[in-house]
Amino acid sequence: MSTPTLLDASCILAWAFGEPGADKVEAVLPVAYITAVNLTEVVHALE
């Protein structure tokens, strides 16, 4: 089992837009957490 990972908005946005490092983010998504503040920032950026 992988170690849980806390992601910030920049990680999620890099993954969503296929930016460098997206593959590393995708690898940890099954065990990732994000705070409500960072999730709000992601939703706002994707609107």
> Token match 């837009």: residue?
17
How do residues 1-47 score in pLDDT, each as one tens digit? 589 999 999 999 999 999 999 999 999 999 999 999 999 999 999 99
Q: What is the distance of C-alpha 12 from the center of its chain?
A: 3
| pLDDT value at residue 28 | 95
2, 30 contact by CB (below 8 A): yes
Helix (H) or strand (E) segment spanning residue 33: strand 32-34
What SS3 state is found at 3?
coil
Contacts with 14 (C-beta within 8 Å, 6 or more apart), sequence order:
20, 21, 22, 25
